[in-house]
């Protein structure tokens, strides 16, 4: 039994030693390093700057009430087209109790003054008709009576305005009726029937009843990095790519570059605006995110190579590549480069279309190479 165990242990030890030797042998195998080669080709080189932003209407306004109260009627929905003067909503006034009490008191006083003025007027009229007093004296009484009538009417109108926001004379021009101030599409109606709203004043911008915009004239509003802003100018052409409409691109003309930058996430960004050309069959919704490609420079149909193949001489501005003279034998050759788009670079001189340029390393096992 002991002999069997000894044989098993020797066998296990032998297998472990052989496995270690095999692993060490595999690691010690020599590898040949070869390089892939690439040849120049003809392509367009376009240097672009990309600005991110969104497409918005050039003219968008918010409709706010002229009085405070509660929304009692809403006549439009988002997406509807309205003309200037069309009804948007109606507001029911909730009168201020102090103002209401003051208006009612004013009306009561005016009515008392009218009663007194009428008594005086009727009495003086009889005396005047009898020829007892001159016309000039009666004229003063008549003016006081007419003034009392006017004061009662003014007090009634004031009370009606406070309670209802409308008078008999104003009719349909009540400030409780909210109307559109421009022609366009209703983008949003952020209130519901029953919502309390307040008018715009010195201390508050007021409650927005609806937002209306002219969707026929859209602009791209975006931001561009400070490293690129010096390369662009008003009037340059842009090509817009809208995320929601990937199959179609839109042309735009740059019309505004902000003179002041804003720091965001450690970089300074400048606002730009561009007028967008929209085809008749396209509908762009307000707020679509978009990217604008601004062509800074371009070269058409020129010799190019991948920019990663170009090397720079230390201590100078010279550039060179390594060209294959024999299989896997390379020599340094100086070249003159031109425009780069970050991927390919233009070659002005120093290379031919047939040249093979040293590229990335490819490692091949020596044993596999010999077996092949």
Condensed to tens digits (0 to 9), the pLDDT of residues 243-262 reads 888 788 899 999 999 999 99
**Alpha carbon distance, N-terminus to C-terminus of the chain:** 51
DSSP annotation string for 333-352: EEEEEEEE-SSEEEEEES--
Q: Select, from the ranges 112-121, 263-272, 280-289, the one with the highest average predicted confidence (pLDDT).
A: 263-272
Residue carrying the six token digits 């439009």: 76
Of 27-31, 217-221, 308-312, the one with minimum mean pLDDT is 27-31
**Choice between 194 and 173, residue whose per-residue pLDDT is larger:** 194
pLDDT at 33 exceeding the cut of 70 = yes
Point out which residues pair with 52 in neighbouring strands: 223, 291
Q: For residues 267-295, give the mean pLDDT.
A: 89
pLDDT at 164 exceeding the cut of 70 = no
What does each C-alpha distance from 143 to 119, 164, 173 come to in angstroms? 14, 31, 31
Q: For residues 78-106, give the mean pLDDT.
A: 83
Look up residue 353 and give its DSSP letter: T
Q: Which residues of 147-174 are buried (b: 16+ CB within 10 A; e: fewer)?
A: ebeebbeebbbbbbbbeebbbeeeeeeb
**Choice between 158 and 363, residue whose per-residue pLDDT is larger:** 158
pLDDT (0 to 100) of residue 13: 67
Q: For residues 99-109, give the mean pLDDT.
A: 79
Q: pLDDT band at 66, cuts 50/70/90?
A: confident
Q: pLDDT band at 101, cuts 50/70/90?
A: confident
pLDDT (0 to 100) of residue 283: 84
Q: How large a percentage of the chain has pLDDT more than 70?
A: 86
pLDDT (0 to 100) of residue 370: 44
pLDDT digits (tens, 9 = 90+) for 198-226: 888 888 889 999 999 998 899 999 999 88
Residue carrying the six token digits 């804003």: 262
| Coil vs helix vs strand at 361 | strand
- Residue 308 CA, chain-centre distance (Å), reads 36
Nearest CA-CA partner of 358 in 318, 319, 331: 331
pLDDT at 160 exceeding the cut of 60 = yes
Q: How large a percentage of the chain has pLDDT more than 90?
A: 28
pLDDT (0 to 100) of residue 271: 94
DSSP annotation string for 274-293: EEEP--TT----TTEEEEEE
Point out which residues pair with 291 in neighbouring strands: 52, 241
User: ∠ CA(12), CA(15), CA(17), 5° rounding?
Assistant: 110
Cα 164 to Cα 66: distance, rounded to the nearest angstrom: 13
Q: CB within 8 A of 267, min separation 6: which ones?
A: 225, 226
Q: pLDDT band at 49, cuts 50/70/90?
A: confident
Q: Are 22 and 180 in contact (CB under 8 A)?
A: no
pLDDT at 135 exceeding the cut of 90 = no
C-alpha gyration radius of the chain = 44
Cα 216 to Cα 284: distance, rounded to the nearest angstrom: 9
pLDDT digits (tens, 9 = 90+) for 326-363: 888 889 899 999 998 888 999 999 899 989 998 888 86
């Amino acid at each position: 039994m002991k002999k069997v165990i000894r044989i098993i242990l020797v066998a296990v030890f032998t297998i472990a030693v052989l496995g270690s030797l095999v692993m060490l042998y595999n690691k010690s195998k020599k590898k040949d390093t070869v390089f892939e080669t690439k040849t120049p080709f003809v392509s367009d080189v376009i240097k672009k700057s990309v600005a991110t932003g969104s497409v918005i209407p050039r003219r968008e306004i918010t409709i706010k009430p002229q009085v405070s109260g509660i929304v009692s009627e809403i006549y439009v929905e988002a997406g509807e087209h309205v003309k200037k003067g069309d009804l948007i909503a109606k507001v029911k006034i909730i009168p201020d109790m102090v103002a209401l009490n003051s208006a009612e008191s004013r009306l009561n006083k005016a009515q008392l003054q009218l009663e007194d003025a009428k008594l005086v007027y009727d009495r003086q009229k009889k005396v005047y008709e009898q020829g007892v007093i001159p016309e000039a004296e009666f004229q003063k009484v008549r003016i006081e009576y007419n003034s009392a009538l006017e004061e009662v009417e003014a007090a009634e109108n004031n009370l009606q305005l406070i309670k209802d926001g409308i008078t008999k004379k104003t009719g349909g021009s009540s400030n409780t009726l909210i109307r559109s101030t421009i022609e366009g599409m209703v983008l949003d109606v952020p209130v519901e029937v029953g919502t309390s709203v307040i008018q715009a004043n010195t201390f508050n911008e007021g409650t927005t009843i609806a937002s209306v915009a002219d969707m026929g004239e859209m602009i791209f509003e975006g931001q561009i990095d400070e490293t690129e802003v010096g390369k662009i100018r008003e009037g340059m052409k842009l090509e817009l790519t809208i995320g929601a409409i990937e199959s179609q691109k839109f042309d735009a003309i740059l019309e505004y570059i902000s003179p002041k930058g804003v720091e965001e996430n450690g970089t300074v960004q400048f606002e730009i605006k561009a007028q967008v050309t929209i085809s008749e069959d396209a509908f762009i919704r307000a707020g679509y995110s978009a990217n604008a490609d601004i062509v800074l420079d371009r070269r058409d149909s020129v010799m190019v190579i991948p920019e990663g193949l170009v090397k720079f001489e230390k201590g100078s501005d010279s550039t060179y590549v390594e060209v294959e003279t024999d299989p896997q034998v390379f020599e340094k050759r100086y070249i003159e480069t031109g425009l780069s788009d970050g991927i390919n670079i233009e070659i002005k001189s120093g290379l031919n279309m047939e040249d093979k340029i040293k590229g990335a390393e490819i490692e091949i096992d020596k044993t596999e190479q010999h077996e092949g």
